[in-house]
């Protein structure tokens, strides 16, 4: 008689972004005359870079010719792209990792979720609160215990090391949802904790391309000792508009050992057993992102979103609201006026301005009283949304 | 202090296809003058269908324009493609499943591995022996107990129902590696067992497009009662040459319940938590496969591989070898002469004919004394390989 994985019953309601979409869809069907502006899900909207488009077409063309057609590739991702990432880490971050220390996948969501399976069920996992729900839900399903590290205005939304022993620490910087970026010193304290306590850090760097302040670390491996305790997950989604194209990587140093076992080897094994590599078309696009022209063109698109983020910050501040993030990040963390509950303010904004945001409480209890505003809409749409909010507030 | 998932230590050596590749690569570097023919991994080699190529280019073009660009789509796969699959099942198999009963993914390997996580750790899982290693390895990592159902010449490589209670049964038909196809009667016996014993069948139909004998079932849902006990995993990889493009689906009826819980809802939840949908480019290609022109063009490519399979069957039989499969399948299951161990015959073929196959024992102990020969090479290469084997045997 089949028995189910009971941990699924521990999951809360449905995924916050889905709830947001359902509320927005319900509003739209009730008010077909009121055009909605989506600033909820962190979904890219700009066309891909020309260099990347050429590469994607080129990859499709290759599949049209017997001489260049390829089927299954390397389950760990093509060597050419892992080599290119290795070069990128060296040039951009001064970090030495070999091509074999990168494993490619279809997305950072998949990786941050699946990698938890390398650890013993029942592990204690620290996450930031508020938190990207994937870390919590994937670990809940595995039967792990979640410990929340409060991220509040008081600590500028970057946690101090856990006060109790934990096995795994998820960190996301630039942070989703708060838009804040951890400094070298803050990350060093967390790396030092991990080294002293034998914990492993899973560092989600999906938004690193938004960091333009040279004093801020873009890779966990810029921190002393991180190679011995940290795993980094990176993504082409926000960097190059690949949210739909699907391509990401996980970087693990051969130096990272748990009980003498290489976590890199374990992760490679996991992917050999349960994955078959990302799409060959997507990987060709990824290589183009890493070219000189691709990096330049993608940086221009990031600049566009960064300009939106500035507009959002300034517009919201101009109407007297308190905001965080949005400087080296596409997310603005808005404190609701008069400590209104997140969903109440979400509903008000939807009702009065038709601007869809994401309720902070959907990311954890410390997110109550905040909403997340995304800078991924078009510049025009962003301005329209901010104008609506300004009109509503005046 | 971090603890690892110890189940990983139960995994055997490395993945058989990787071992095969390593042996082939080693031979090639020692004998650069002797061109190798790969008939090992089941990797497609024909260019994609024209209709599909047009759709892939079209999807890339959409990403070039702000008006048509899309980022994240539905985590469960785009509705248009799930609708098309629903229509395909109805037209082709007479099976009624709604679009919501399909969940799209990057591959059947991922799905057959990941879906095991829906069940309680420690479940008893029956697999065919020989078996596609992914089922065994993914369940081993989850801490499940594996029971082997012998598939031998005596039962024409299709198992009878388990003689002991099991929770989950993996079935693959057309079978990888033996190339044999289960009949309606054989599948009905297994479905009846599952219904009577409260077991769940995970049916891997990745090779169903190779079935041209109308008397053979192409979907488990053609079997009475299957909706109440079976999950089907299908794939565009072998059907449409998407091994590298990456696109697959899992079909679960709303009627399938375990302890009153809908497995469809659990699987949807799993994908919402841990996956973000397949590539939007791949999905556009998948829709084209399902078009009338796409189906016709893909069938022509399947015909090409089927003709190769016939050549392999006949050539091997002509030199006195015993073969199975290869009639409604791209795989020929070759009995080694004089009961030679699989790896010994693999090495002999590599050494004497430079034809790379897959040792049957790599798929399980019942595969000892067999090798798998794949029909996915070009017609010319297939003929050359068979000529080399004929010369060697004469």
Q: What is the full DSSP assignment across B210-250?
A: G---TTS-SSGGGSTTGGGTEEEEEESHHHHS-TTT--EEE
Task: Tell which of B71, B110, B288 to mutate to test the A interface (max A CBs under 10 Å).
Answer: B71
Residue whose token pair is 């979907």? B219
Whether the per-residue pLDDT at B14 is higher than 70: the answer is: no
> Of the candidates B18, B45, B119, which has its C-beta nearest A3's C-beta?
B119
- Residue ranges and CATH numbers for the domains of chain B are 11-48+294-393 (3.90.1150.10), 50-291 (3.40.640.10)
Chain B residues close to A119, C-beta within 8 Å: 2-5
Q: How far apart are the first and last CA of chain A?
A: 63
So what's the pLDDT on residue A19?
Answer: 87
Residues of chain B neighbouring A243 (CB-CB closer than 8 A): 71-72
Round to whole Å and give the CA distance between A179 and A156: 10
What is the CB-side half-sphere exposure of residue B284 using CA atoms within 13 A?
Answer: 21
- Are A114 and B41 an interchain contact pair (Cβ–Cβ within 8 Å)? no
| Chain A environment of B117 (Cβ under 8 Å) | 5, 141
Average pLDDT over residues A248-256: 98
A245 with B57: Cβ contact below 8 A: no
Q: How far is the C-alpha of B73 from the C-alpha of B76, rounded, in Å?
A: 8
Query: Confidence class of residue B17 from pLDDT cuts 50, 70 and 90?
Result: confident
Predicted pLDDT of residue A190: 98
How many Cβ atoms from other residues are within 10 Å of residue B125's Cβ?
24
User: Which residues of A fall within a CB distance of 8 Å from B120?
Assistant: 3-6
> Across the interface, which of B11, B123, B274 has its CB nearest the CB of A110?
B274
Contact (CB<8Å) B64/A73: no
| Closest CB from B245, B276, B277 relative to A279 | B245
Query: Which structure tokens are listed for A119?
Result: 């650890």
CA distances from B231 to B106, B143, B228, B247 (A): 17, 21, 9, 17
Model confidence band, residue A24 (pLDDT cutoffs 50, 70, 90): very high
Query: Is A241 in contact with B269 (Cβ distance < 8 A)?
Result: no
Name residue, tokens 């024992």. B361
* Mean pLDDT confidence for A313-322: 97
Output the CA angle A79-A84-A87, nearest 5 degrees: 125
Interface check B377 vs A, CB under 8 A: no
Closest C-alpha among A113, A52, A111 to residue A76: A111
Indicate the pLDDT class of residue B42, thresholds 50, 70 and 90. confident
pLDDT at A394 over 80: no
CB contact under 8 A, A244 and B138: no
Structure tokens belonging to residue A64: 């049209």
Q: How many CB pairs under 8 A join A and B?
A: 258
Q: Which residue of A has its CA nearest to B51?
A: A64
Return the closest-CA partner of residue A9 out of B251, B258, B140, B228: B258
State yes or no: pLDDT of A14 exceeds 70: no
Q: Which residues of A touch B1 (CB under 8 A)?
A: 165, 167, 197-199
Task: Tell whether the model's pLDDT for residue B394 goes beyond 80.
Answer: no
Q: Band the pLDDT of B12: cuts 50, 70, 90.
A: confident
CB B187 within 8 A of CB B208: no
Task: Sort out which chain B residues have CB atoms less than 8 A from A48's CB and list them.
Answer: 63-64, 69
Q: Would an 8 Å CB–CB cutoff place A318 in contact with chain B? A: no
Q: Tell me what the mean pLDDT of segment B118-126 comes to.
A: 97
Per-residue pLDDT at A13 exceeds 80: no
Please report which confidence band the pLDDT of residue A148 belongs to, taking 50, 70 and 90 as the band edges.
very high
What average pLDDT does this structure show over B278-301?
98
- Per-residue confidence band for A286, with pLDDT thresholds at 50, 70 and 90: very high
For A265, the enclosing helix (H) or strand (E) is helix A263-274
Give the pLDDT band (50/70/90) at residue B31.
very high
Return the DSSP state at A38.
Answer: E
What residue has token string 């996991």?
Answer: A270
**Sign of the four-CA dihedral B153, B155, B161, B165:** negative
Task: Quote the mean pLDDT of chain A.
Answer: 96
How close B155 gets to chain A, by Cα (Å)? 26
- CA–CA separation, A380 and A165 (whole Å): 48
Sign of the C-alpha dihedral, residues B185, B190, B195, B197? positive
Compute the CA torsion angle B252, B254, B257, B263 (nearest 10 deg). 50
pLDDT (0 to 100) of residue B214? 96
CA of B78: which chain A residue's CA is closest? Answer: A244
Identify the band that residue B1 occupies on the pLDDT scale cut at 50, 70 and 90. Answer: confident
Share of chain B above pLDDT 90, in %: 95
Looking at residue B58, what is its pLDDT? 98
Task: Answer whether 0.90 is exceeded by the pTM.
Answer: yes
Residue of A14, A18, A67, A72 to mutate, testing the B interface (most B Cβ within 10 Å of its Cβ): A72
| Gyration radius (Cα) of chain A, Å | 21
pLDDT at residue A76 is higher than 90: yes
Per-residue confidence (pLDDT) for residue A18, from 0 to 100: 79
Residues of A in contact with B72 (CB under 8 A): 41, 43, 243-244
Give the residue from chain A lying closest to B267, CA to CA: A8
Interface of A with B in 112-151 (CB under 8 A): 113-114, 117-121, 123, 134, 137-138, 141, 143
pLDDT higher than 90, residue A123: yes
Instruction: Give pLDDT tens digits for B221-239.
Output: 999 999 999 999 999 999 9
Which of B123, B137, B246 is facing A273, going by the closest CB pair? Answer: B137
DSSP 8-class letter at B148? E
| Nearest chain B alpha carbon to A63 | B47
């Amino acid at each position: 008689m089949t028995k189910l994985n009971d941990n699924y019953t521990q999951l809360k309601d449905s995924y916050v972004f889905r709830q947001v979409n359902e509320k927005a869809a319900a509003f739209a069907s009730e008010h077909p005359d009121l055009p909605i502006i989506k600033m909820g899900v962190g979904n890219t909207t700009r066309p891909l870079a020309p260099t990347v488009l050429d590469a994607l077409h080129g990859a499709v063309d290759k599949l049209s010719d017997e001489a260049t057609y390829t089927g299954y590739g390397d389950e760990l991702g093509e060597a050419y792209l892992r080599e290119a990432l290795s070069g990128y880490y060296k040039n951009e971050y001064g970090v030495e990792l070999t091509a074999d220390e990168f494993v490619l996948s279809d997305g950072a969501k998949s990786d941050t979720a699946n990698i938890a399976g390398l650890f013993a069920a029942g592990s204690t996992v620290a996450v930031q609160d508020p938190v990207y729900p994937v870390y919590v839900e994937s670990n809940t399903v595995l039967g792990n215990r979640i410990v929340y590290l409060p991220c509040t205005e008081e600590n500028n939304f970057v946690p101090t090391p856990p006060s109790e022993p934990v096995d795994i620490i998820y960190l996301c910087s630039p942070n989703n949802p708060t838009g804040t970026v951890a400094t070298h010193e803050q990350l060093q304290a967390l790396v030092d904790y991990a080294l002293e306590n034998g914990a492993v850090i899973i560092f989600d760097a999906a938004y690193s391309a938004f960091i333009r302040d040279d004093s801020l670390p873009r890779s966990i491996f810029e921190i002393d000792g991180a190679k011995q305790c940290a795993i980094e997950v990176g993504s082409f989604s926000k960097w190059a508009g690949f949210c739909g194209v699907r391509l990401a990587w996980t970087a693990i140093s051969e130096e990272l050992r748990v009980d003498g076992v290489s976590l890199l080897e374990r992760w490679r094994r996991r992917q050999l057993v349960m994955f078959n590599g990302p799409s060959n078309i997507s990987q060709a696009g990824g290589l183009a992102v890493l070219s000189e022209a691709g990096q330049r063109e993608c940086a221009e698109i990031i600049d566009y979103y960064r300009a939106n983020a500035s507009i959002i910050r300034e517009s919201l501040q101009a109407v007297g609201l308190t905001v965080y993030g949005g400087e080296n990040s596409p997310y603005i963390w808005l404190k609701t006026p008069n400590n209104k509950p997140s969903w109440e303010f979400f509903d008000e904004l939807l009702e009065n301005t038709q601007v869809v945001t994401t309720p902070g409480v959907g990311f954890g209890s410390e997110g109550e009283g905040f909403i997340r505003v995304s800078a991924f809409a078009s510049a025009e749409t962003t301005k329209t949304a901010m104008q609506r909010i300004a009109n509503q507030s005046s």
